[in-house]
Each structure stands twice: as C-alpha cells, then as structure tokens.
Amino acid sequence: MSILVDADTRVICQGITGKAGAFHAEQCLNYGTKLVGGVTPGKGGTVAGPGLPVFDSCHQAVAATGADATMIFVPAGFAADAAMEAADAGIRLIVLITEGIPTLDMVRLRKVLDDRGVRLIGPNCPGVISPGRCKIGIMPGYIHRPPEPGSKTIGLISRSGTLTYEAVWQCTTRGIAQSTCVGIGGDPVKGLNFIELLEMFQADPETDGIVLIGEIGGSDEEQAAAYIRRHVTKPVVAFIAGRTAPPGRRMGHAGAIISGGEGTAASKIAALEAAGITVVSSPADIGKTVADALA
Amino acid sequence: MKIHEYQSRQLLAAAGVPVPPAEVVETAAGAVEAHRRIGGRVVVKAQVFAGGRGKAGFVRLCADPRETEAAATFMLSNRMISPQTGPAGVAVRKLLVAAAVDVAAEYYVGMVIDRTRLCPVMMVSREGGVEIEEVAARRPEAIVKEWLHPHLGLQLYQVRRLAAAMGLDAPDRFKDCAATLTGLADVFLRHEASLAEINPLVVTADGRVLALDAKLNLDDNAVFRHPEIQALYDDSEENPAERRARAAGLSYIALDGNIGCVVNGAGLAMATMDLIKLHGGEPANFLDVGGSVTPEGAVEAFRIILADPKVRGVLVNIFGGIAKCDLIAEALISAAREVGFNVPVVVRLEGTNVQRARRLLEEARVPGLLTATDLTDAARKVCAAV
C-alpha cells in the first residue's frame, strides 16, 4: 500500500500548456502515472504533449476524465485560484508545485480547502510519489525504489526538494524502498504537514519506518516531535537543515527563517531527540542511519 | 521586503492610525526647519533598516533647533554601527523629525501570520517599548492574541477584547485605540505584510493614544502585485553581491566563512553549509541556483562566489533533478575559462545526466578542479584545501 496516491489515481495537470507543465506532465506519464488530461483556460479542445486532451476548465476535465487529483504549474498570481477551481470541480488531492504564491492567498485557500475536506500538498514543493505506481510532481523518478515483498520500506516527509532526492537516493542505493515520498514544501503556510502524514504512515502496513526532513523556521518539527512521542511506534529518522543559518535571513524558502528566536535548528533537534527520534548530524549519513534503524 | 519607518508610518497614518506630527528630511538645515514648524521638543530618528539605533546614538531627543542641527549633522555624516549592521555600519540618508510627547504608558501592538493556525494574528501587550521576543520569553502571559478569520479579517469584538487587554477600553481612549488596531490590520491585509508592528503605542500625559514607531515587512511573494510598495523599495543597505545575485535570479546570502557554496535547492544548500561546518570549515555563503537555472545564471553564480575575497575554496554540490548535472558542469567549465579558478573547487555531482557531466569535466581538465565521490568526501576535500 501507499498513502495519498496509488496506481489508480487519475491525474490532470493545470497549466499543462506552459513549459514546465508540458515537460513534467510528460515525465509523469512516462513514469506510469495515469495522467488523463490538462487544463489551460482558452486552450480547450487542443492536445498537449503526448496526446493529452486539454480542457478550458477543471469542471470539464473532471467530467470527461474522472480525474481525482491535480498537479498545478499555474503562475504564482493565479495558482490559488486554480486550486480553488480544482476543489470546486470535485478534485480530492491538489499538488501545488508553484513557487512564490503570496502568503495571504495561501491563508485564504487553506480555509476554502479545509471547509471542503480537500487535501493539498505544497505549494513550492516537488510533489508526491509512490514509487512504481504514481508520480505527481517534478522529482526524478529513477532515483526511487518501489517496494517489493521482503524489502525494507520507508515513508518520507520533507520540506525540501533536492535534499529529499539526496535522502531518497541514499536509501535506494542501500536497497531500502519507499512506500510514498511527500515533499510538503518550503512555504510558511501550506497544505499537508508532518503530523497528518505521520498519522498516515503509521497506519500504512507497507511502511516500516519514517524519514522526516525538516529545516529552520516555524515550529512544525517541534509539533511533529510531540506527536511522534505519543502516537508513532515505527522508527523515525530525522534530519534538520540549517544549523549554520544566520537568524533573520530567509534561506531560499519563504518559510526558512529564524525570527524572534523561534525556528532554530537547535530547538527542533532538541525536541526530536527528546522524543526518542534519531537525528542525523550529517546529510551524508541519512541512508546509513535509516538502514541501521530498520535493521 | 523591508521598508523604512517613515514609509510604514505614512501607510499607517493613511489608514487612520493616530501619529504625532513629523517630517522627513535629508539635511541638517531641513531638520532645523522641520523642528521650527513642528515646535516644542522633537525626536530625530535615522531612517535605516538595521535595529539598535537608540544605543548607537541615532535616535535623539532635541529640546531646541540647535540640538536638532547637531544631532542631524552627526547622523548624516557618520555611519551607524550597531550589532545588526556589522563593523562597516550603514550610511544614513534620511531623518524623521517627529514631535516629542510626554509618555504616560507604553504598549506593544503587532501582527504576523500564525504558521500553525494558518491565519493572521494580532498581538498586544502592556509591556511596550521593549522587544516583544523578550516579553514572550520572560512573561508569555503578558501577550494577548486574537486570530483573524482568513476571509473576514479583524472583527469589532476582537478590537474590544484587545483594547480591554491593554486597559484602553474606557470611552476616552477606546476610539483612538480602535482606530489604531483596525488601521494596523487594514495596512497588513491591504498591502500584504508579513510583519506589522507599533512599538511603542503610547498614551500621552494629556491622554492621547499615539503610535510612536512603525515597522512593516512586506511579503516578498506578494510585492509583484503592489506597485505602491515597489515604489518604496530601497536597496542601498543591501550587500552588493546579494543585489547582483538577485538580478541573476539566484538566491544568495553572504556569510562570514571562507568556503564558497554552489548548490541547487534551498534545503540542500543549507545542508551543505551544515556539512562544511561539521567537517571543521565555515561557509562563505548560502547559494541556491534554483531548479530552472540557465547556463548564464550558473556562470554568474561562479563569478559572484569567486569574486568574494574571503573565499579560499569552493564546494559545488548538485543533485540533478530538474537542474541537470551536465548544465552545471558546462557552467563550471565556462566559468573556469572566463575567470579562472584561483582557489580549489571541489565538485560533487549526482542525479540527472551525471554520467555526461562527469565525462565533460574529465575531458575539460580544468586546473584547480577536484572531483568528489560522495558528500563526505567532498566536505573533507574542501575543508582540507582551505
């Protein structure tokens, strides 16, 4: 099993006629994702990439394809609108890749999606992948390893993109498979967060252990640590990026900033260790530590 | 994005927040004229982004125009040095000359986005005039909060609760207090701020409620749709290398160490800095070249790092996803040909098109370039080289 997505997930791509949308839609399709169409207002009736139908609206796309998930590449100023349209059309899982969405747009979007019970991954994220079954996002597919009978399998949750690939690759090269990897994104206001995903991975029989990759800013990791202490029995390995980051500076991600003494790596590491979680000091040792934890 | 106190103050005043009379000047003579027009005593405040102005002598109470002239001359002819500016300090170009008032009590009013509750939160405290973080650490119960509905904003009942928490709910105070709180929320939401603070908000000896300071940080992601905010932009205090990187679409932050870093992805860039530190080195910068980096952008990244006189070695750490390894390898080779590597450059590549990238680097035989087999190897090599 996997969480969030599986081989039957039917996906549309909003912004499929843009450069990034077209490229990654094709990559997902090649990986084996059931990508069934795309949406670009004004380009309905055309065909994108490898023969995918383009619709003017999410409502038309859902009616014609039966899609239940979407991958959004719409530019930042229109991305929240695109996500609301998807929710209104009945989409149940929204993967928002777009970077640079205004924070107040995200605040308003989350309220709309929460009221409808629609799940959001991102924004400013690589997306979600259940190796061998479904890839919705921009991560390179080949670095992942699908679970096989008898293989050790992890679930991964991360606020980062390439650092996630690094961790996944270190696991894959050690023969450790992944049930699902979720990049939750680097923004301060986002969709699914550590706690919801920890709950799903704890309940997923395929997942043997969990890798949590956090970074400076906010207090999500501290809250995750408290949750793990009470509710998670599977082994958890964590890495926190930004031990050397100076306070008051935004380290690339909008959410990666130490402000008012809150959000330091030291605070997160202390909280995780206090909850009995193995925190890796070197990003080079994530795979090795996971292998040890699952042994 | 930060804007100056005088700009924040103008936005708040326009939204109905009561402020004392004030003028912005750029010369000592202008400060004297402003003092004469305002009358009484004034406070002269240097308009710089860095904090620590008071202790550095760049906020002064002046009883007469002669004192104002001396204060203004001092501030405009000396660089302000505080713990937040670094040893070089910052030049002062503008001064705010504001009417001084007799303060009976100080309060704090602020607004940020609550990342856990996913909505804006307004915070007030009777302990004004000091850093709110200090209050939060020492006496968290002294801060009272109201969370704003994402679609509806600040409600009147919330204004009443906050006013009561500050003890400003009596009829003679409430009107000005309410104007302050609603004005602050209005500015925060209308211009899309990430932080809005009035510290201190004061009650004067003669019973007026006034905002004596104003601080606004705007959401960088929202500035594109706010021409009124773009017009306030001032990059004069920005590090020149950071300005240059921003123009090239790179995310770069200058640090104090001597190992330059070129990385793709913000998380991996932070992890690379941590890795260097773990192996006994000090990173000279944070640099995320981004996922959609162009060959020209990647070459510019190397130019910026190699132009930093502190840099004694460079670590290139790329996990190719969307940004492909061969593109980075080509940029490395171009940069080496163009500027030459005057310091050792350690390269660790993994991911998309890594084989082609390794072949390119091998064939180019770049002097000064060392390849690493993995992350730990890369960190050891670069730390040993500096």
CATH class of B1-20+102-237: alpha beta
Question: Under an 8 A CB cutoff, do A102 and B192 touch?
Answer: yes
For A146, A175, A177, A208, A291, the CA distances from A152, given in Å and listed in that order, are 10, 8, 6, 7, 9
State whether residue A161 sits within 8 Å of chain B by CB: yes
For A21, A35, B11, B17, B31, the CA distances from B20, given in Å and listed in that order, are 53, 61, 14, 10, 16
DSSP B297: H
Distance between CA atoms of B136 and A283, rounded to whole angstroms?
Answer: 33
Question: What are all long-range contacts of B11-14, with beta carbons under 8 Å and residues at least 24 apart?
Answer: B11/B187, B11/B191, B11/B214, B11/B216, B12/B183, B12/B184, B12/B187, B12/B198, B12/B211, B12/B214
* pTM, full prediction: 0.95
Q: In this structure, what token pair is assigned to residue B107?
A: 């309060």
Q: Are strands B313-320 and A209-215 parallel, antiparallel or unpaired?
A: unpaired
- Return the CATH architecture of domain B21-100: 2-Layer Sandwich (3.30)
Question: Under an 8 A CB cutoff, do A162 and B376 touch?
Answer: no
CATH, range B239-385: 3.40.50.261
Distance between CA atoms of A212 and A209, rounded to whole angstroms?
Answer: 10
* Residues in CB range of B218: below 8 A, 6 or more apart: B1, B2, B3, B191, B192, B193, B194, B226, B229
Distance between CA atoms of A260 and B375, rounded to whole angstroms?
Answer: 33
Which residues of B are identified as catalytic? 108, 197
Q: How far is A64 from chain B (nearest CA, A)?
A: 31
Chain B residues whose CB is inside 8 A of the A246 CB are 253, 255
Q: From B350, which residue of chain A is nearest by alpha-carbon distance?
A: A166
| pLDDT given at position B51 | 85
Question: Under an 8 A CB cutoff, do A165 and B136 touch?
Answer: no
Chain A residues whose CB is inside 8 A of the B120 CB are 104, 107
Q: What letters, b where the CB count within 10 A reaches 16 and e where it falls short, cover B163-193?
A: bebbebbeeebbebbbbbbbbbbbbbbebbb
State whether residue A127 sits within 8 Å of chain B by CB: no
Find residues 255-274 of chain A whose CB sits inside 8 Å of chain B. 255-256, 260-261, 265
| pLDDT given at position B332 | 87
Tens digit of pLDDT at every position of chain B (386 positions): 999 999 999 999 999 999 999 999 999 999 999 999 999 999 999 999 988 899 999 999 999 999 999 999 999 999 999 888 878 889 999 999 999 999 999 999 999 999 999 999 999 999 998 888 888 888 999 999 999 999 999 999 999 999 999 999 999 899 999 999 999 999 999 999 999 999 999 999 999 999 999 999 999 999 999 999 999 999 888 888 999 999 898 999 999 999 999 999 999 999 999 999 999 999 999 999 987 778 888 889 999 999 999 999 999 999 987 778 898 899 889 888 888 888 999 999 998 889 999 999 999 998 889 999 889 999 999 999 98
H or E element in which residue B42 lies:
strand B42-46
Which residue of A104, A174, A184 is the best one to mutate when testing the B interface, meaning the one whose CB has the most B CBs within 10 A? A104
Which residue of B192, B218, B239, B274 is the best one to mutate when testing the A interface, meaning the one whose CB has the most A CBs within 10 A? B274
For A158-180, what is the mean pLDDT?
96
Chain B residues whose CB is inside 8 A of the A159 CB are 267
**Strand partners of residue A127:** A137, A183
Q: How far is A191 from chain B (nearest CA, A)?
A: 10
Residues B275 and A166: beta-carbon distance below 8 Å: no
Q: pLDDT band at A120, cuts 50/70/90?
A: very high
Residues A211 and A186: beta-carbon distance below 8 Å: no
Which residue of B49, B118, B151, B318 is the best one to mutate when testing the A interface, meaning the one whose CB has the most A CBs within 10 A? B118
Question: Under an 8 A CB cutoff, do A189 and B118 touch?
Answer: yes
Q: In this structure, what token pair is assigned to residue A2?
A: 């996997």
* Length of chain B (residues): 386
Q: How far is B349 from chain A (nearest CA, A)?
A: 11
H or E element in which residue A137 lies:
strand A134-137
Residue ranges covered by each domain of chain B: 1-20+102-237, 21-100, 239-385
Q: Are strands A127-130 and A134-137 parallel, antiparallel or unpaired?
A: antiparallel
Q: From B285, which residue of chain A is nearest by alpha-carbon distance?
A: A245
Q: From B324, which residue of chain A is nearest by alpha-carbon distance?
A: A140
Only one residue has tokens 């939401």, namely: B189
Which residues of A are identified as catalytic? 253
Find residues 46-65 of chain A whose CB sits inside 8 Å of chain B. none
End-to-end C-alpha distance for chain B, whole angstroms = 35
* Residues in CB range of B43: below 8 A, 6 or more apart: B59, B60, B61, B62, B97, B98, B99, B100
Give the residue among B336, B258, B324 at the shortest CA–CA distance from B299.
Answer: B336
DSSP B287: E
